Structure 1
């Protein structure tokens, strides 16, 4: 797939900016806080309807404006698509494909595929479980766009159930536990049904990704280290059959019922899952240097690229946000050699000295300053 044009209106610090991409690799050069990352974020939003910065829509709209718009023209083997995402400071976002408004945002997903790799991704190793859940969910949305709807359903039930628990938290001691338990049963059933769909898809995705990432990791580390990725769901997953997962879910809810009622929050479900990353059977967070952690993240990103390409039958875009400065020359070369012209790549950097002349000669170079992009 090839991103031909990107048009930003009132998005982040861009007033009105149109970019035409003329090469497989585009290098965006500029000082910090000029808008380089914002441009990559716009592409990421078109691919996943999510931002790894986790910003609210109102934060994406330029200061003083009510509406922002991202429009792109994308060429795929099946033809050319026009994508439009409209963001509102006060109101719901909307999407359009080839000029036609879509009622379901899910139908917008899967048209453009992209893998984002930024310096923030080191939090995949160092940060808490939420970082890894968000990473896995973003990948799954691209592999299986219906997953966005499944996750939304689960989060909706979770919010409702939490509100119920919070509301009745103080009354548990007075009325005893039984009346509360009866009313909760309705939410329990919905939580188990929607949560099971999330768990099974996460499990399937990790099973597909883990061997690919391990192979990349062995390649980059010179086979001196073994990467293991394991999905550790909050609900026991001995079988991947829906009925069995659902039953395990309900059993665990019953076990934690008293604790949930006193704490006023849901303690069981995929919002508490973990993705365990280990190098040579030692948790990666405790293991070795930043260089080794960067190798792990690089292996994960290369595995994402490969898996998406296998599933969608076309290479996704690669968005590299100020990441080359984070990698030593060996890892830089591993990454750049893998990319070649196989993946359309947008790279942000503060200076061009990270690139050899061959790369510079074959890349489109754009300069970004205060929300304006120029060729010189």
Structure 2
């Protein structure tokens, strides 16, 4: 797939900016806080309808404006698609494909595929489990767009169940409350089972690819293992069994949940375990080794998406080359070649060799304006 044009209106610090991409690699050069990352974020939003910077829609709209729009023209083997995402400060976002409004945002997903790799991703190893869950969910949305709807359903049930638990704290054991809680339990287990099974399946597919990349980058001196560890025992990935295990675990924690007024069991508390040579990665070795792991994860994401959608996704590299030593930089750049259309942000163009520069489109970014 190839992103031909990107048009930003009142998005972040861009008033109006149209970009035509003329090479497989585009290098965006500029000082910090000029809008380089914002441009990559716009592409990421078109791919996943999420921002890894976790901004609310109103934070994505240029100050003083009420509406923002991202438009793109994308070429795929199946033909050319025009994508439009409209963000509103006081209302719901809307999406359109080839000029036609789409009632379900889920139908917009899967048209453009992209893998984002930023310096924030280094927290995948060092940070808490919520960052790893969010990373896995974003990957799953691209592998299986219906997952966005499944996750939304689960989060909605979770919010309502938590609200009920808080409100029922004072009269926890009344028969009426226990009856109502049983209804929430059933809904949580039904929606949560769908999330757990899909996450487990995705990790089963990703883990061997990431392990192979990691062995390649580390010179086979280290063994990477990735495991999905749900808060519900997962002996077999069969829906009835997972759902039964889920309900059993909820009932075991019922008293603690009522006491604390919050849901203690479910995919919102799951972990993705990363281990190197059987040691938890966050406790293992240097920053360099942790960076090797994240690089292996990102290359595995690219490969898995390509296998599933049958086309190479876009790669968005946000100020990440500066974080990698020359050896890891070369591993990454060699893996990309011209196989993936790549958008790269950097503050210094000197970090690229002349061969790369000659085959790249170079754009200067200054205060939300682009020049070549």
- State TM-score, norm by structure 2: 0.99
- In the other structure, the counterpart of 1:183 is 180
What per-residue deviation string (whole Å, max 9, x for no partner) do you get for residues 14-46 of structure 1? 000000000000000000000000000000000
2:187 alignment partner, SS class: helix
Q: Which runs of 5+ in 1 are unaligned?
A: none
1:169 positional shift: 1.4
Superposed CA RMSD in Å reads 0.6
| Among candidates 201, 205, 225, match of residue 204 of structure 1 | 201
Q: Does 1:337 align with 2:334?
A: yes
Equivalenced residue count is 372
Choose which of 289, 295, 300 in structure 2 pairs with 1:298.
295
Change (3 A) 1:177 1:267: farther
**Cα deviation code 1:30-69 (max 9, x no counterpart):** 0000000000000000000000001000000000000000
Partner of 2:23: 23
Secondary structure of the 1:333 match is helix
Partner of 1:82: 82
Q: CA deviation at 1:168?
A: 1.2
| Equivalent position SS for 1:83 | strand
Q: d(CA) in 2 for partners of 1:177 and 1:223?
A: 60
Q: Which residue of 1 aligns with 2:315?
A: 318
- Give distance in 2, aligned partners of 1:180 and 1:214: 48
1:234 aligns with 2:211: no
Could you list the per-position Cα deviations for residues 337-368 of structure 1 after superposition, in whole angstroms to 9, with x for gaps in the alignment? Answer: 00000000000000111100000000000000
SS class of match (1:85): strand
Q: Which residue in 1 is equivalent to 2:135?
A: 135
Any unmatched runs of 5+ in structure 2?
none
Q: Deviations over 1:233-266 (max 9, x none)?
A: 0111001110000000000010000100010000
The corresponding residue for 1:354 is: 351
Q: Under a length normalisation based on structure 1, what TM-score does the superposition of the two structures give? A: 0.98
Residue 272 of structure 1: aligned partner? 269
Q: Does 1:284 align with 2:281?
A: yes
Distance 1:123 1:150 in 2: 26
Determine helix, strand or coil for the equivalent of 1:325: helix
